[in-house]
Amino acid sequence: MEEETHTDAKIRAENGTGSSPRGPGCSLRHFACEQNLLSRPDGSASFLQGDTSVLAGVYGPAEVKVSKEIFNKATLEVILRPKIGLPGVAEKSRERLIRNTCEAVVLGTLHPRTSITVVLQVVSDAGSLLACCLNAACMALVDAGVPMRALFCGVACALDSDGTLVLDPTSKQEKEARAVLTFALDSVERKLLMSSTKGLYSDTELQQCLAAAQAASQHVFRFYRESLQRRYSKS
């Protein structure tokens, strides 16, 4: 009874600054997205980036406990479960980052005193996990019909010891990098919604990573559009 829309898109993004002395262009890994695959949640999506895969389910707007309700907007909760083991502090901090991104985008004032819950399950982790979680959360929110003022996407990049910029790094590249930066960008004006960085980098390098992420997000949003058009063309 579930409608499955499997969209494959091979996307290559070239780094805009071709004259840079820092090595060849960067590319994003192969994307795939499937919506409405779970029957119980109001919206669900599975997002694949290369070998990294995250499954997201959204429940809402639903009942909320009186202790957690906010009088003028919806209470947004994010639950992230790792592939093995119990969720720890790292998951908690990622949940907060994803929650802050979603709160900036979801129109919570339309559903006061309700709760919108996003549950993310890591199916496989091969680098750029936070970016993949953000993408899966966005697709699941769209599938559930939660009103949003824009779409958002996550893009990760890693900086090598000699300053090479790699978009959408694998776990091996992340380990060897001197800095890993993850950005969440919105779809209207490619504005920065959230950034989470780890490692050593300079001011100019930050600006370059941000610019590269903004260019790459174009491809992600195009993929969203194609995937949603494919879904609605079947009905």
Q: Segment 37-56, which members bind other proteins (CB under 8 A)?
A: 42-43
* In the complex, least distance from residue 147 CB atom to other proteins, rounded to whole angstroms: 4
Q: Which two tokens stand for residue 16?
A: 């805009």
Contact 4, 36 (CB under 8 A): yes
Report if residue 211 touches other proteins, rule: CB under 8 A: yes
* In the complex, least distance from residue 51 CB atom to other proteins, rounded to whole angstroms: 28
Of 84 and 234, which CB lies nearer to other proteins in the complex structure?
A: 234
Tell me if the bond preceding 21 is cis, omega within 30° of 0. no
Q: Segment 117-176, which members bind other proteins (CB under 8 A)?
A: 142, 144-145, 147-151
* In the complex, least distance from residue 187 CB atom to other proteins, rounded to whole angstroms: 5
* 106 closest CA partner among 148, 143, 164, 153: 148
Task: Please count the helices (runs of H) and the strands (runs of E) in the chain.
Answer: 4, 10
Q: Segment 58-77, which members bind other proteins (CB under 8 A)?
A: 60-64
Q: What is the DSSP letter of 74?
A: P
Give the strands of the sheet with 115-124, arranged side by side: 5-9, 31-35, 43-49, 52-62, 115-124, 75-81
* In the complex, least distance from residue 64 CB atom to other proteins, rounded to whole angstroms: 7
Where do contacts with other proteins occur on this chain (CB under 8 A)? 1, 3, 16-17, 20, 36, 42-43, 60-64, 107, 110-115, 142, 144-145, 147-151, 186-190, 204, 207-208, 210-212, 214-215, 218, 224-225, 228-229, 232-233, 235
